[in-house]
Amino acid sequence: MHPRTLFTGIFLSLISAFTGIYGQSNFRPGFIIDTNNQTIQGEIKDGGDVGNSSICLFRSDETSDIREYLPGSIYGYGFTDSKYYISKHINLDDADQLVFLECLVKGSASLYYFRNKKSELYFIEKEGGQLLALTNDAKEVMVNGSKTKVYTRKYIGLLKAIFSDCFDIQSSIDNVKLTHKSLKSITCEYNECAGKGSACMIYDNSSRFRLRVGPLIGFSSNQLSLKGQGQYAAFDFSTSNDPVFGILLDLSFSRLGDKLSFQLGTEFGNNDFNAYYEEDDPIDPFTTNYYDVYMEGLSMKLFTGAKYNFTSGRVKPNLGGGLMFNKYLQSEFWYDLEINDRGTVTNEEWQGDIASDWFFGAYLQAGVDVDLSKKLILFANLKGGYCMTNPRTIVRMVDGLPDQIRIRSQLIPLSFSVGILF
């Protein structure tokens, strides 16, 4: 079986299989707290910051039915050793709404976070007090005759008022930013001050983003073709099958859950293409031209895109895609021409700039990640792409006169790679 046909078959099979998996929910170990303050262990679907604020999907185990809990129907829920949500009333779009707020810090003062498709808000609440929004509204003012946007930083004044009983942290509040890290830090400082040095309870103390990087090795199959005019478009290049090596970077954000991540990677491999072409001379019917064509170079592929994991267990099948760029370093294109004129054979070698060395396009990817530990991930990816170049004008002499033709190079790369992310 032709390597390209084999790779295409495997690739389409994986896409079909993973599409079936797509319907499966993304559940993680967790718990719910009912209205009677009873804790029930089980598994909860992680819908990211937006989904987690509006609904809790809970099941006792993989074989149990899924139960839906809306804000108010339970006191709260959480993921084991991670995020924790509480039912709260907030004012949103000038209306009272009941939502699940993510609790970032619990203590004398508690810090909450909320995000939907339009808003991202932080709230502060002291024991026995109101839930207050921390805002930084923008407004336009006239500066030197032109409109300029400035931010009110209302949250600074609010924090100073709420934390007024702790004089030691007042100067630090001026430097607070509306971010998880900054707000958690100042809230904990207050709780330690108000609680006489008692510990501050922080939920989900992990970083909001995580960058993993690791090496990869694999195998690639590349098909080159020339599109355009003249005999060059008739060159049927053989597939170049070569080993590859490279580096992969994977960036994920906690607010998007653990299903979606963004990748940047590169693959290096030495490609070697060959084609044989025979034609009758267009002027002399008794002459036959035989072309033995070569194209070779070090391929450097750069790809960047998104990846979606369908599950969050130890084994995570995924699909991805994005942009791909291919550059041939120190590439060469030449052909040996044998001319048979009524039995008289002459040979020529021609080297030119026919095939472009810079390609751009897109790719799709099917893969699987396996958690070896909390710090190590084994991955395997099957990637297929389509890349092309801008048209190139070639000038050749025909009957002593210059003739221009347009040639576009096309590359179809397929690769399988494995590696480890740290």
The pTM (predicted TM-score) of the whole model is: 0.59
**Share above pLDDT 90 across residues of the chain, in percent, rounded to a whole number:** 51
Q: Does 367 share its domain with 227?
A: yes
| Confidence at residue 152, expressed as pLDDT on a 0 to 100 scale | 86
Structural domain contains residue 9: no
Structural domain contains residue 14: no
Q: Does 144 share its domain with 33?
A: yes
Length of the chain: 422
Q: Does 184 share its domain with 40?
A: yes
User: Any long-range contacts for 251-255 (C-beta under 8 Å, 24+ apart)?
Assistant: 251/209, 251/210, 251/211, 251/212, 252/209, 252/210, 252/212, 253/208, 253/209, 254/49, 254/204, 254/206, 254/207, 254/208, 254/209, 254/210, 255/48, 255/49, 255/115, 255/208
DSSP string, 341-357: ETTEEEEEEEE-S-S-S
Virtual torsion, Cα 39, 40, 42, 46, nearest 10 deg: -50
Structural domain contains residue 183: yes
How far is the C-alpha of 301 from the C-alpha of 296, rounded, in Å?
Answer: 15
Q: Does 301 share its domain with 186?
A: no
Structural domain contains residue 36: yes
Q: Does 214 share its domain with 160?
A: no
For the chain, the helix, strand and coil percentages under 3-state DSSP, each to the nearest 5: 15, 60, 25
| Confidence at residue 344, expressed as pLDDT on a 0 to 100 scale | 76
Structural domain contains residue 54: yes
- Average pLDDT value for the chain: 85
- CATH of residue 347: 2.40.160
pLDDT in tens, 265-316: 999 999 999 998 887 776 777 888 888 888 899 999 999 999 998 876 678 8
Q: Structural domain of residue 413, as residue ranges?
A: 208-421
Q: Beta partners for 125?
A: 110, 131
How far is the C-alpha of 5 from the C-alpha of 241, rounded, in Å?
Answer: 13
Structural domain contains residue 257: yes
Q: Does 197 share its domain with 228?
A: no
Q: Does 264 share its domain with 412?
A: yes
* Residue, of 344 and 213, whose pLDDT is higher: 213
Virtual torsion, Cα 95, 33, 77, 57, nearest 10 deg: -90
Encoded amino acid at 100, one letter: F
Sign of CA dihedral 97, 102, 103, 104: negative
Q: How many domains does the chain have?
A: 2
Q: Does 175 share its domain with 214?
A: no
Instruction: Name the H helices within 125-179.
Output: 154-162, 170-173
Q: Does 168 share its domain with 217?
A: no
Q: Does 173 share its domain with 226?
A: no
Q: Does 94 share its domain with 218?
A: no
Instruction: Name the H helices within 133-264.
Output: 154-162, 170-173, 180-194
How far is the C-alpha of 369 from the C-alpha of 363, rounded, in Å?
Answer: 19
Of residues 172, 187, 247, 249, the one with CA closest to residue 215 = 247
pLDDT at 155 over 50: yes
| Confidence at residue 17, expressed as pLDDT on a 0 to 100 scale | 46
- The last residue of one of the domains, among 151, 171, 202, is 202
pLDDT in tens, 360-374: 999 999 999 998 876
Structural domain contains residue 15: no
Structural domain contains residue 233: yes
Mean pLDDT in residue range 406-412 = 89
Q: Is 257 helix (H, G, I), strand (E, B) or coil?
A: coil
- The last residue of one of the domains, among 202, 228, 255, is 202
Q: Does 98 share its domain with 228?
A: no
- The last residue of one of the domains, among 153, 185, 202, is 202
Helix (H) or strand (E) run with residue 334 in it: strand 315-341
With beta carbons less than 8 A apart as the criterion, state whether 394 and 404 touch. yes
pLDDT in tens, 241-258: 999 999 999 998 766 666
How far is the C-alpha of 14 from the C-alpha of 317, rounded, in Å?
Answer: 9
